[in-house]
């Protein structure tokens, strides 16, 4: 099962290594991990998507809380949170299917951010599942390069 | 007050009440050593940094205070690693201070550079790489707070040489800590304690299973009180030996892989296990899916992550063992009427098991290791601090030296570190000079840190070091005998060829004796206890004696070989 954890940490050197090390050491699989500053400069937020069973999730949660630099760990169930991710895709675009691709991008409320010789670079944001669907639709045209930021999330309300 | 970083480190340690540092100097830590020369803090120069870490650990285990060790950067720091890991596995409060190359060359593979905070990351409770001298007072205060509160553990302070050479303004009054993420739970939840009390009163076949947390929390009196109040039998882990007097009629001794048969049967038959400061380690539970099938479980632990980690729990109580036990006793006292009768069938059953499967010293003409331990127990009147190494001798010491007081049995449990015994004994004796300290070690283990005999001799540390010399890496040989068709691959230490342990200790300036027969044991021990400085006795024992009972790895806890 996938779970999104929001981990508030002290913005200090080495914190990322402590968090990442904990996951690998205890055998928890990370799907994605995104780190960034928060409204308070001394605090960073790590958004971690883990793929674990309920029992292991509890261990992840407790072990994270044991790290001295971790201030708070919040489990963010899909229903109670806003989750976003950004994908950048460079897709092959022959003149004959350019219009088709642009149409798909528009449906996904994406943006063309770069136009190259025979390629289009596209940006889309949304929940991870939406980005995956988008990826699938572009694949037949030939995806040259792709990068995703990993999920970031905030609790609703 | 203006001072250097090195002065600030020493001053901060003094402020924390540090009496002794175990350490070894080198380039990057020299500024600190220079200041140390003028400090009232005692320094014990070990002969290896591993020895320093174990000595600080032994000091901490014997005194309950924070142990401090120090080393230079690179190889000095990497030599501390085994000691730090040993302390981490057993939740021992330890501060390790390491020198580091100057901040501007960190990351350049400078001479004697090692990424100490990186290397130790998975084996510390926390670590600091100090980048600014001004951070030193706060860092030291935080390190001590972290090491000695909550679930205790080791903390590394990595100190670049330019930071110890740099200047800061030390404010005498300041002992600030800023740890927004560190709030260990100490008080147990009242509702959970009530639920536990209710469960306790309903039990017909209860047992208290106590771990090292009882000793860490100083909760031995409360444990005894609870057991007395309820007439509950108590079994302890290796690390909790002495948390409950093993001479008490309600004591079941140690449980687990080499525990008493009756302790293991009690666990497997119990309808209630009250776990206090213990973590259901695999050496305790045996095969997990058959473990204690009838028992409801109450789990009291300071570390929430231990609860439900290995075994599902019915009533979890997160908190300090001492406080929680106190409250539990208070909750139970008014309800206790008529309790004792209800347990008589259970006590009868336990009596039967104890009678049927006692731990006995085997008889024979040869010198049996168990006999030696039993004699050590008798001659020291059960009153010595026993520090063990790792292997068969460790388990025999645990089985046959009945411990009655907390902090009187010191052993590397979680990591099982051979070489721990001698340096930890030195630390224990330095922390508790009034106590008799006996090291129980093996012919294998002693050679992992025998250089510390020099430390013991030069610091006039009174120790009796008993080598249970079976000529083998005995515990491994035992497994080879039982599980590898007696194929003794590289476990024979070729006793009699090298080394001569008596000559070895004499070379260091200590006293050596060799004992071959049963009659010689008592006089040798008596002489050793009267002799000043370290005395090493080489007990030439039966070579292929095994430790029984034994729960084979992966077997059910009640499936004991020789039990
Ligand atoms: C540092 C280290 N290396 C290897 C081991 C594996 N090991 C466990 S017990 C043991 C044998 C110990 O031999 P000895 O000290 O002579 O004690 P005995 O078992 O013979 O009583 C070994 C090699 C260990 N625990 N620690
Ligand atoms: Mg041996």
Q: What is the DSSP string of B70-93?
A: EE-TTHHHHHHHHHHHHHHHTT--
- Judge whether B128 and B139 are in contact, CB under 8 Å: yes
Distance from residue B18's CA to the centre of ligand 1 (Å): 33
Q: Give, in order, the Cα–Cα distances in Å from B146 to each of B181, B184, B429.
A: 11, 10, 25
Interface test with A, best of B305, B306, B308, B311 (most A CBs within 10 A): B305
B421 lines ligand 1 (CB under 6 A): no
B417 lines ligand 1 (CB under 6 A): yes
B476 lines ligand 1 (CB under 6 A): yes
Select the residue of B122, B125, B182 nearest A25 (Cβ to Cβ).
B122
Q: Which ligand is nearest to the CA of B478?
A: 1
The strand pairing partners of B43, in sequence order, are: B21
d(CA B79, CA B426): 18
Interface test with A, best of B180, B280, B304 (most A CBs within 10 A): B180
Task: Show the tokens assigned to B47.
Answer: 């002969």
Element (H, E) at B469: strand B463-469
State phi, psi for B529 to the nearest 5 degrees.
-65, -25
Domains of chain B: 2-169 (3.40.50.970), 190-356 (3.40.50.1220), 369-550 (3.40.50.970)
Interface test with A, best of B131, B132, B181, B280 (most A CBs within 10 A): B181
Distance from residue B477's CA to the centre of ligand 2 (Å): 9
State phi, psi for B435 to the nearest 5 degrees.
-90, 150
d(CA B384, CA B27): 39
How many interchain CB pairs under 8 A, A with B?
A: 37
d(CA A130, CA A32): 16
Instruction: Judge whether B447 is closer than 8 Å to chain A, CB to CB.
Output: no
Q: Which atom of ligand 1 is nearest to the CA of B416?
A: 25
pLDDT computed for residue B340 by the predictor: 60
- Judge whether B73 and B116 are in contact, CB under 8 Å: yes
Closest-CA residue of B relative to A9 is B181
- Judge whether B260 and B549 are in contact, CB under 8 Å: yes
Instruction: Judge whether A149 is closer than 8 Å to chain B, CB to CB.
Output: no
* Cross-chain residue pair B305–A63, CB shorter than 8 Å: yes
Instruction: Judge whether B305 is closer than 8 Å to chain A, CB to CB.
Output: yes
* Cross-chain residue pair A69–B304, CB shorter than 8 Å: no
SS3 B21: strand
d(CA B546, CA A8): 52
Residues whose CB falls within 8 Å of the CB of residue B352, separated by 6 or more in sequence, listed in order: none
Task: Show the tokens assigned to B535.
Answer: 């005395």
SS3 B399: helix
Tens of pLDDT along chain B (563 residues) come to 999 999 999 999 999 999 999 999 999 999 999 999 999 999 999 999 999 999 999 999 999 999 999 999 999 999 999 999 999 999 999 999 999 999 999 999 999 999 999 999 999 999 999 999 999 999 999 999 999 999 999 999 999 999 999 999 998 766 688 999 999 988 999 999 999 999 999 999 999 999 999 999 999 999 999 999 999 999 999 999 999 999 999 999 999 999 999 999 999 999 999 999 999 999 999 999 999 999 999 999 999 999 999 999 999 999 999 999 999 999 998 876 655 668 999 999 999 999 999 999 999 889 999 999 999 999 999 999 999 999 999 999 999 999 999 999 999 999 999 999 999 999 999 999 999 999 999 999 999 999 999 999 999 999 999 999 999 999 999 999 999 999 999 999 999 999 999 999 999 999 999 999 999 999 999 999 999 999 999 999 999 999 999 999 999 999 999 97
Task: Show the tokens assigned to B339.
Answer: 């309790």
Nearest CA residue ID for atom 8, ligand 1: B391
Q: Which ligand is nearest to the CA of B445?
A: 1
Among residues B91, B217, B208, B316, which one has the least CA distance to residue A62?
B316
- Judge whether B35 and B170 are in contact, CB under 8 Å: no
* Cross-chain residue pair A9–B181, CB shorter than 8 Å: yes
Instruction: Judge whether B129 is closer than 8 Å to chain A, CB to CB.
Output: yes
Instruction: Judge whether B227 is closer than 8 Å to chain A, CB to CB.
Output: no
Select the residue of B131, B181, B305 nearest A10 (Cβ to Cβ).
B181
* Cross-chain residue pair B146–A68, CB shorter than 8 Å: yes
Distance from residue A126's CA to the centre of ligand 2 (Å): 64
Helix then strand then coil, in percent of chain B rounded to 5, is: 40, 20, 40
pTM score, whole prediction: 0.97
For residues A43-66, average pLDDT: 93
Distance from residue B391's CA to the centre of ligand 1 (Å): 5
* Cross-chain residue pair A68–B182, CB shorter than 8 Å: yes
pLDDT in tens, A89-118: 999 999 999 999 999 999 999 999 999 999
B393 lines ligand 1 (CB under 6 A): yes
B445 lines ligand 1 (CB under 6 A): yes
B391 lines ligand 1 (CB under 6 A): yes
Distance from residue B109's CA to the centre of ligand 1 (Å): 35
Domains of chain A: 2-76 (3.30.70.260), 82-155 (3.30.70.1150)
């Amino acid at each position: 099962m996938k779970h999104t954890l929001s981990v508030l940490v002290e913005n200090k050197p080495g914190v990322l290594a402590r968090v990442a090390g904990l996951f690998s050491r205890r055998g928890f699989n990370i799907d994605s991990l995104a780190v960034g500053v928060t409204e308070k400069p001394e605090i960073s937020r790590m958004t971690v998507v883990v793929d674990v069973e309920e029992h292991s999730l509890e261990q992840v949660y407790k072990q994270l809380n044991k790290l001295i630099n971790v201030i708070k760990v919040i489990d963010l169930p899909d229903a109670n949170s806003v989750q976003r991710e950004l994908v950048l895709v460079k897709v092959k675009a022959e003149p004959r299917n350019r219009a088709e691709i642009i149409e798909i991008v528009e449906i996904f409320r994406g943006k063309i951010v770069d136009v190259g010789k025979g390629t289009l670079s596209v940006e889309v944001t949304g929940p991870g599942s939406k980005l995956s669907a988008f990826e699938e639709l572009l694949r037949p045209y030939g995806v040259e390069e792709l990068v995703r930021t990993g999920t970031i999330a905030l609790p609703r309300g | 007050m203006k001072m250097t970083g090195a002065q600030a480190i020493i001053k901060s340690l003094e402020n924390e009440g540090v009496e002794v540092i175990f350490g070894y100097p080198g380039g990057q830590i020299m500024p600190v050593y220079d200041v140390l020369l003028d400090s009232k803090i005692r320094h014990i120069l070990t002969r290896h940094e591993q020895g320093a870490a174990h000595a600080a650990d032994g000091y901490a285990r014997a005194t309950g205070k924070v142990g401090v060790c120090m080393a230079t950067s690179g190889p000095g720091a990497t030599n501390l690693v085994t000691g730090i890991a040993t302390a981490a596995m057993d939740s021992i409060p330890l501060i390790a201070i390491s020198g580091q190359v100057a901040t501007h060359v960190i990351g350049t593979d400078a001479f004697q550079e090692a990424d100490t905070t990186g290397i130790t990351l998975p084996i510390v409770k926390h670590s600091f790489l100090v980048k600014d001298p001004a951070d030193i007072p706060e860092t030291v205060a935080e390190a001590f707070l972290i090491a000695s509160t909550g679930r205790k553990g080791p903390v590394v302070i990595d100190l670049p040489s330019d930071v110890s050479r740099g200047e800061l303004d030390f404010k005498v009054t300041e002992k600030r800590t800023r740890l927004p993420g560190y709030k260990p739970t100490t008080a147990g939840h009242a509702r959970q304690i009530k639920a536990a009390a209710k469960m306790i009163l309903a039990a017909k076949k209860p047992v208290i299973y106590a771990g090292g947390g009882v000793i860490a929390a100083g909760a031995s009196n409360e444990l005894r009180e609870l057991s007395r109040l309820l007439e509950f039998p108590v079994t302890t882990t290796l690390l909790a030996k002495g948390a409950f007097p093993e001479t008490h009629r309600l004591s079941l001794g140690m449980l687990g892989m080499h525990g008493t048969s009756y302790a293991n049967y009690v666990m497997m038959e119990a309808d209630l296990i009250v776990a206090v400061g213990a973590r259901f380690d695999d050496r305790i539970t045996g095969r997990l899916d058959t473990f204690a099938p009838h028992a409801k479980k109450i789990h009291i632990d300071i570390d929430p992550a231990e609860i439900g980690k290995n075994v599902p729990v019915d009533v979890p109580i997160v908190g300090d063992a001492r406080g929680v036990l106190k409250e539990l006793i208070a909750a139970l006292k008014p309800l206790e009427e008529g309790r004792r009768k209800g347990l008589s069938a259970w006590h009868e059953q336990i009596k039967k098991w104890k009678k049927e499967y006692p731990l006995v010293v085997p008889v024979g003409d040869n010198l049996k290791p168990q006999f030696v331990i039993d004699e050590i127990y008798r001659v020291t009147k059960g009153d010595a601090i026993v520090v063990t190494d790792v292997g068969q001798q460790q388990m025999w010491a645990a089985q046959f030296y009945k411990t009655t007081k907390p902090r009187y049995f010191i052993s590397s449990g979680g990591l099982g570190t051979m070489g721990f015994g001698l340096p930890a004994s030195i630390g224990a004796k330095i922390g508790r000079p009034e106590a008799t300290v006996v090291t129980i070690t093996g012919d294998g283990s002693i050679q992992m840190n025998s250089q510390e005999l020099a430390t013991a001799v030069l610091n006039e540390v009174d120790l009796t070091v008993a080598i249970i010399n079976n000529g083998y890496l005995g515990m491994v040989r035992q497994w080879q005998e039982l599980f590898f068709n007696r194929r003794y691959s590289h476990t024979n230490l070729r006793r009699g060829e090298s080394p001569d342990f008596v000559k070895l200790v004499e070379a260091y300036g200590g006293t050596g004796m060799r004992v071959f027969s049963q009659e010689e044991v008592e006089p040798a021990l008596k002489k050793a206890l009267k002799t000043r400085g370290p005395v090493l006795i080489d007990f030439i024992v039966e070579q292929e004696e095994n430790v029984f009972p034994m729960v084979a790895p992966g077997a059910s806890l009640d499936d004991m070989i020789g039990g």
